[in-house]
Amino acid sequence: MTVLIITHSQDNESIPLVIQAIEAQGGKAFRFDTDRFPTEITLDVYYAKSERVTLSVENQTLDLNEVSAVWYRRIAIGSRIPDSMDKQLRQASLKESRVTIDGMIASIKGFHLDPLPNIRRAENKQLQLRIAREIGLDTPRTLTTNNSVAVKQFAQECKEGMITKMLSSFAIYDEQGREKVVFTNPISSEDLDNLDGLRFCPMTFQEKIPKALELRTIIVGKRALTAAVDSQALDKARYDWRKQGIALLDAWEPYTLPEDVEEKLLKLMAEFGLNYGAIDIILTPDGRHVFLEVNPVGEFFWLERSPGLPISEAIAQVLQN
């Protein structure tokens, strides 16, 4: 039996790490780079008196009826369809390609890490906070709004200050094509006087939580693997460690969550029907563990190097068992 890995050709080293772990445990893996469909990879879905579903790339062909498990990582269907195509025809090609692959994924009988409907539901960060609060996790005071008056009132509640972030992940590109990612940022008094843009785009505001450490917990099945970093050691990382993520690569250390916090995180995952999730937590100076969010397909690869968490091994075990 084979594990099907759904990703794209620009994905990071997490893919070979998990493939190596699967093979070390005696299994087989097939990598499906979705950006190469439909231009370079062929899919045959045949239903009559018999059934044939095959995925072919170069000299490899996979019978999808032999797939025992699916690892859904990343998706970029149709991104190699030429931009030179007529705009309407290209859009139609993209839509049909995406619907085709969505149907293929949904039709695979094997174990899914994780089912797409579960992932899509769990990506709703407002729902995450509601469920986390109900479970008893500590969460920040939060406001999502397009109402500038509400933001100013909320600022009065946040005695330690306030930060802002977006609910969706995106980047803005300048005229030279340089990527500018939207990180978590503090709100100043000057910002509170310039909130007119909320009329065109809502934003999320949270109370500033003091940080002793920032934690990344990777849940795989029933295992919780956690690492901690002192993001306050670097000035630009104080509000969002990703701003200096490369500089902090070797600064992550193993961390053991309190048993009750781990149990609540596992309960949160169960509420969403997830077997995998990357969870961000703040450890405050007074010992509180404040839940921020869970990314159901979040990154983990750097934590394999430092502090050496066996995440790919855990993923391989879940996929094969």
What CATH number does the domain containing 255 carry?
Answer: 3.30.470.20
Residue 313 lies in a domain: no
pLDDT at 57 (0 to 100) = 92
pTM of the shown model: 0.93
pLDDT band (50, 70, 90) for residue 208 = very high
Q: Report how far residue 189's alpha carbon sits from residue 198's, in angstroms, rounded to the nearest whole number.
A: 16
pLDDT > 80? residue 178: no
Residue 136 lies in a domain: no
Q: Report how far residue 96's alpha carbon sits from residue 84's, in angstroms, rounded to the nearest whole number.
A: 18
- Asked whether residue 7 falls in the same domain as residue 105, the answer is yes
pLDDT band (50, 70, 90) for residue 175 = confident
pLDDT band (50, 70, 90) for residue 125 = very high
- Residues near 173 by beta carbon (within 8 Å), at least 6 away in sequence: 179, 180
pLDDT band (50, 70, 90) for residue 176 = confident
pLDDT at 246 (0 to 100) = 87
Residue 286 lies in a domain: yes
Residue 84 lies in a domain: yes
Provide the domain count of the chain.
3
Residue 122 lies in a domain: no
Burial of 182 (0-12, 13-18, 19+ CB in 10 A): middle
- Asked whether residue 31 falls in the same domain as residue 43, the answer is yes
Structural domain including 240 reads 210-308
pLDDT > 80? residue 62: yes
- Asked whether residue 266 falls in the same domain as residue 250, the answer is yes
- Asked whether residue 109 falls in the same domain as residue 6, the answer is yes
- Asked whether residue 98 falls in the same domain as residue 11, the answer is yes
pLDDT band (50, 70, 90) for residue 172 = confident
- Asked whether residue 70 falls in the same domain as residue 88, the answer is yes
Tokens of 247: 């500089």
Q: What's the average model confidence in pLDDT over 222-250?
A: 92
- Asked whether residue 104 falls in the same domain as residue 183, the answer is no
